[in-house]
């Protein structure tokens, strides 16, 4: 969802890009750098789920706390928080996804 939003913004200025070119942009282009924090979170979750040893309650609590912190939009916050806030202002789909994730995170408090 966030990638789609950023892709649209990029394509409005630079023209359409292929999926392969988009992957390169996500990895290398400054406009997409803020999304790396979400990617890192997804990798962290995947690693926890695929680990051979059981996940500790402390690790789960830390992950939930970090996720709540990351997904706190701010009009005047750091780079990610501000870009996330802007995405919420522009895209109804991002708002809906944020509401669902927020509901899940609140149920685990």
Number of residues assigned to the chain: 109
- The answer to whether the beta carbons of residues 88 and 94 sit under 8 Å apart is yes
> For the CA atoms of the chain, what is the radius of gyration?
16
Residue 109: the pLDDT is 67
Residue 65: the pLDDT is 93
pLDDT tens for the chain, residues 1 to 109: 788 888 998 999 999 999 999 989 999 999 899 999 999 999 999 999 999 999 999 999 999 999 999 999 999 977 899 999 999 999 999 999 999 999 999 986 6
Distance between CA atoms of 22 and 10, rounded to whole angstroms? 10
Q: Angle between the 19-28 and 2-14 helix axes, to the nearest 10 degrees? A: 100
Cα dihedral sign, 70-71-77-80: positive
Residue 4: the pLDDT is 87
Instruction: For residue 60, give every residue at least 6 positions away whose Cβ sits within 8 Å of its Cβ, in sequence order, or none.
Output: 48
Distance between CA atoms of 109 and 37, rounded to whole angstroms? 22
Q: For the chain, give every domain's residue range.
A: 33-107
């Amino acid at each position: 969802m966030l990638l789609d939003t950023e892709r649209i913004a990029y394509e409005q200025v630079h023209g359409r890009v292929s999926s392969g070119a988009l992957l390169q942009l996500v990895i290398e282009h400054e406009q997409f750098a803020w999304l790396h924090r979400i990617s890192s979170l997804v990798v962290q979750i995947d690693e926890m789920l695929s680990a051979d040893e059981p996940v500790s309650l402390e690790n789960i609590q830390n992950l939930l706390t970090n996720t709540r912190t990351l997904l706190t939009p701010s009009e005047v916050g750091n780079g990610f928080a501000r870009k996330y806030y802007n995405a919420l202002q522009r895209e109804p789909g991002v708002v809906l996804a944020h509401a669902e994730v927020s509901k899940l995170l609140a149920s685990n408090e």
